[in-house]
Chains A and B, each alone.
Chain A
Amino acid sequence: MSTLERIASHLERGEHDEVRTLTEAALGETLSAPDILEQGLIAGMQVVGEQFRNHEIFLPDVLMAAKAMNAGLEVLEPHLGTTAVPTQGTVVIGTVKGDLHDIGKNLVGIMLSGAGFEVIDLGKDVSPERFVDAAAESGANVIGMSALLTTTMPAMKSVVDLVRERGLGARTVIGGAPVTKEYADEIGADGYSFDAANAVECIRELTQRS
């Protein structure tokens, strides 16, 4: 088994110490940082995403794998600074204005990073203007919005409307406990996801289409 395969394998099992050590070893073997990222860390995280989607593993396993990915990234980051790393796309995410729940949104961010997307996490209680400004500045492909309250869901429509008004190319995806596919259709969002794994699929599909 190659070092990259071993990184992926340990990441799948959420073994962060091993991932860190092997990532250092891979750099020592003069493997390039982008290759280690793509063929080691992201490859492992993609398997984790698939297993989670198929209910073969559960949230604690995903979170342990994410921690392992983070351990590898910490080693890689100084070596990625000047290298152009290909990404699947850029996604601006946040919890909408008035809503302070961010665990679901955090999980989406973790899964998106693991799948090779560049994630700009605006945090919680994010105004429509901040979503749209961040997407415009970063040239984001997708804006992902989360809400846990029925009272804050209308803020999602404000973002969708503002994207249109400003003529941005970014697609909009919404999710969260009270959000439904029907609501996404009603407000004109481009996508709806019912959980974090599904969000990755939905966003991947949208970025490949655009």
Chain B
Amino acid sequence: MHWHGDIHIDCATPTETDVLRALGVPVDHEPDARTRDLVREGIAELRRLAKPRGIFSSVTTEEFADIYRGEGDNNEPSPLADVFPKADELALFAATIGSTVTERVSELFNAGEYALGGALDAAASEAAELVAGNVARTVLAKARHAGRASEATRVLNYSPGYCGWSLTGQGALFAALEPCRIGVTLTDSFLMEPVKSVSGVAVVGPAGIHDFKDDYAFCGACRTHECRDRIAGLRGATPRGDSYEHA
């Protein structure tokens, strides 16, 4: 199973709350009108400039084991090493919103328009995550369509650089997936260009396979522990943007 193509901007547009949170504004803080206007302007600019695209390619458990091993730099043990053998379907993926937004952020900062630059940067980071989520849901929808997943099946993304999967794993992932087809390339330091891109593996299976505690050795250095929310989200209501629409 393989797919790559454009994704509708509506599927890459974060909410004001998403952007405020990305800017470090606590959820229980009521922002003033100017801050709200700023965030709206950032989102509008994002919608004007972003070119969301995605790619995925299914791999077998054995194929992924090789890719995951990468250059042998992963932490052991790690959650993904335990999770992926239990998956019903695995797909390498990459998602991006293109380079224009990042260029605009630099322009704004250079012009002293720090506030709008910051809002646009935050909106862009959220947008890249939304595109990645959209690609993952496309993997799940296609697996369901092919009869390899049920309505109860869920999908969760894991990315190199997180949860014990070394960032150097990007090398093997990119060699297998070839995200250059959507304009995403890798630098010598395993950085993706455009910067606002996300890559990894979409793990399709029962929600329960992702149940792990955040007490691995490397979890101590993690500042967000956002895996807790992501795993909890698998058991909750259908996430926003579950329908996948491609431009």
Q: Which residues of A approach B to under 8 Å, CB–CB?
A: 14, 58-61, 63-64, 66-67, 70-71, 74, 97-103, 106-107, 110, 149-152, 177-178, 180
Task: Check A63–B114 contact: CB distance below 8 A.
Answer: yes
C-alpha gap A178/B190 in the complex (Å): 15
**Chain B window 79-116, contacts with chain A (Cβ cutoff 8 Å), 1 for yes, 0 for no:** 00000000000000000000000000110010011110
- A-side contacts of B221, CB under 8 Å: 178, 180
B113 to chain A, nearest CB (A): 7
In the docked arrangement, what's the CA distance between A59 and B24, Å? 6
Q: Is the CB of A99 within 8 A of B25?
A: no
Residue of B nearest to A178 (CB): B221
For the complex formed, measure the closest distance between the CB of B34 and the CB atoms of chain A, giving whole angstroms: 7
Alpha-carbon distance between A160 and B187 when the two chains are bound, in angstroms = 24
Residues of A within 8 A of B113 (CB): 67
Is B38 within 8 A of A64, CB to CB? yes
Partner of B189, one of A64, A67, A152, A177: A152
Contacts of A100 in B (CB 8 A): 187, 191, 193, 195
CA distance A110 to B109 in the complex (A): 10
A98 touches B112 (CB 8 A): no
18 more contacts with CB within 8 A, not counting A58-B26, A103-B121, A180-B221, are A60-B23, A60-B39, A63-B118, A64-B35, A64-B38, A71-B112, A74-B112, A97-B189, A98-B191, A99-B189, A103-B105, A106-B114, A106-B117, A107-B118, A149-B167, A149-B190, A151-B189, A151-B191
User: Which residue of chain B has its CB nearest to the CB of A96?
Assistant: B189
Cβ-defined contact, B191 with A149, below 8 A: yes
Are A63 and B189 touching (Cβ within 8 A)? no
Given the complex, which residues of A lie within 8 Å of B38, measured CB to CB?
A: 60, 64
Contacting residues, chain A, for B20 (C-beta < 8 A): 60
B151 cross-chain contacts in A, Cβ below 8 A: none
**Given A14-B115, A106-B109, A151-B168, also A58-B29 (CB < 8 A):** yes
Q: Which of B1-53 contact A (CB under 8 A)?
A: 20, 23-26, 29, 31, 34-35, 38-39
Taking the nearest CB of chain B, how far is it from the CB of A114, in angstroms? 11
- Interface membership of B161, Cβ < 8 A: yes
